[in-house]
């Protein structure tokens, strides 16, 4: 069995997979001679790499979001695609989201602005129990984040396409479910994939359904947010608008262009798509398991190209 790896730090991945799949030949895309391979383990492969390998038993996407792979014109049809599910990203994402929620619940955003005027003024504390958080997307990572915040003591509402039951989380689904979640939360967290039905799901209409003074944390995908509507809801000065502030990790164009008004907005925090990098050790265990299962003909959870995730 031959597996071709394409990702930054491909050599680290090659070694990790070679340890876990001792009977397989693992090569990186820099050694790709065009010799046929059975599996690709890839993150954002170039079109030519996919075109060179049309006959595959499977493709493993080395991340949770499959949008870049599905939008690649070189993607062969009818090849099963599997993706990483949590694989150690859940706890990293939970830390990122917890930081964002605490930023607003404990008024760090307001203290940061007070500091610019040397203003020493303690603000009244809002208890966690009075700070409902909404999580859009209850997948492998989203569900982990929702349960972590519920364990922390926040009332948590979650939203998915199909009905779900998660301990300590009020679960919603469908359009009505989205409306009831939006009306109930102080911080909205977007952990949805980028698909035709999630693009610009955060728009003027959905932002208007949030309570005044709500905040947004988006580590999901940049395409989820209509940037013009976000800026409008934030208002353009240091005074809080309808939307109090935002912590953003993902953008439609990355790196975020230097002339984006988001960079200098006083109530926006920007991070460079660092919320939950794939931890190689945990992920390599999962990749090896997936390849072994596909090789043995065991059932694996493949992505649905129609749904886009």
* Number of Cβ atoms within 10 Å of the Cβ of 249: 23
CA dist., res. 269 & res. 170, Å (int): 28
Retrieve residue 189's tokens: 């967290």
Where do we find the tokens 């049309």? Answer: 54
Is residue 250 at the binding interface for ligand NDP, with CB under 6 A as the rule?
yes
Question: Looking at 197, 212, 228, 281, which residue binds ligand NDP (CB under 6 A)?
Answer: 197
Angle value at C-alpha 117, between 115 and 122, nearest 5 degrees: 55
Strand 187-190 versus strand 133-136 pairing type: parallel
Sequence-separated (6 or more) residues with CB below 8 Å from residue 45: 6, 29, 69, 72, 74
Is residue 248 at the binding interface for ligand NDP, with CB under 6 A as the rule?
no
Sequence-separated (6 or more) residues with CB below 8 Å from residue 39: 1, 2, 3, 4, 56, 57, 58, 59, 60, 291, 294
Choose between 170 and 198: whose C-beta lies nearer to ligand NDP. 198
**Window 139-158: contact mask with ligand NDP (x via CB under 6 A):** xxxx----------------
172 given a catalytic annotation: no
Is residue 200 at the binding interface for ligand NDP, with CB under 6 A as the rule?
no
Sequence-separated (6 or more) residues with CB below 8 Å from residue 171: 138, 157, 158, 159, 160, 163, 164, 165
Is residue 247 at the binding interface for ligand NDP, with CB under 6 A as the rule?
no
Is residue 191 at the binding interface for ligand NDP, with CB under 6 A as the rule?
yes
Is residue 170 at the binding interface for ligand NDP, with CB under 6 A as the rule?
no
Task: Give the interface segment with ligand NDP, choosing from 46-54, 69-77, 160-168, 239-247 (CB under 6 A).
Answer: 160-168
**Window 88-117: contact mask with ligand NDP (x via CB under 6 A):** -x----------------------------
273 given a catalytic annotation: yes
Which entry of 103, 157, 221, 244 is annotated as an active-site residue? 221
In angstroms, give the least distance from the CB of 227 to ligand NDP. Answer: 17
Task: Give the interface segment with ligand NDP, choosing from 9-17, 54-62, 132-140, 261-269 (CB under 6 A).
Answer: 132-140
* Number of Cβ atoms within 10 Å of the Cβ of 5: 30
Is residue 44 at the binding interface for ligand NDP, with CB under 6 A as the rule?
no
Which parts of this chain interact with ligand NDP (CB under 6 A)?
A: 64-65, 85, 89, 137-142, 159-162, 191-193, 195, 197-198, 219-221, 249-250, 273, 275-276, 309
* Active site residue ranges: 221, 273
């Amino acid at each position: 069995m031959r597996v071709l790896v394409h990702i930054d730090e491909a050599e680290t991945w090659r070694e990790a997979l070679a340890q876990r799949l001792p009977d397989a030949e693992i090569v990186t895309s820099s050694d790709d001679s065009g010799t046929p391979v059975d599996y690709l383990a890839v993150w954002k492969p170039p079109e030519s790499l996919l075109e060179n390998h049309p006959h595959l038993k499977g493709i493993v996407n080395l991340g949770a979001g499959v949008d870049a792979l599905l939008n690649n014109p070189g993607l062969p049809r009818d090849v099963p695609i599997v993706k990483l599910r949590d694989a150690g990203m859940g706890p990293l994402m939970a830390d990122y989201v917890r930081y964002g929620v605490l930023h607003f619940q404990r008024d760090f955003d307001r203290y940061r602005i007070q500091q610019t005027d040397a203003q020493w003024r303690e603000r009244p504390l809002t208890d966690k129990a009075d700070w409902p958080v909404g999580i859009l997307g209850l997948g492998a990572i989203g569900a982990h984040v929702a349960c972590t915040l519920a364990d922390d003591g926040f009332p948590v509402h979650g939203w998915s396409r199909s009905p779900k039951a998660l301990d300590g989380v009020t679960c919603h689904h469908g359009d009505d479910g989205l409306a009831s979640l939006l009306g109930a939360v102080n911080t909205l967290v977007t952990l949805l994939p980028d698909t035709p039905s999630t693009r610009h799901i955060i728009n003027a209409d959905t932002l208007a359904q949030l309570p005044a003074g709500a905040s947004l944390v988006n580590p999901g995908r940049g395409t989820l947010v209509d940037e013009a509507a976000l800026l409008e809801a934030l208002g353009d000065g240091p005074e809080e608008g309808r939307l109090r502030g935002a912590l953003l990790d993902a953008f439609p164009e990355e790196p975020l262009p230097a002339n984006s008004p988001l960079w200098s907005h006083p109530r926006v925090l920007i991070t460079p798509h660092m919320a939950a990098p794939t931890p190689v050790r945990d992920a390599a265990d999962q990749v090896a398991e997936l390849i072994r299962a596909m090789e043995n003909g065991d059932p694996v959870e493949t992505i649905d190209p129609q749904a886009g995730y």
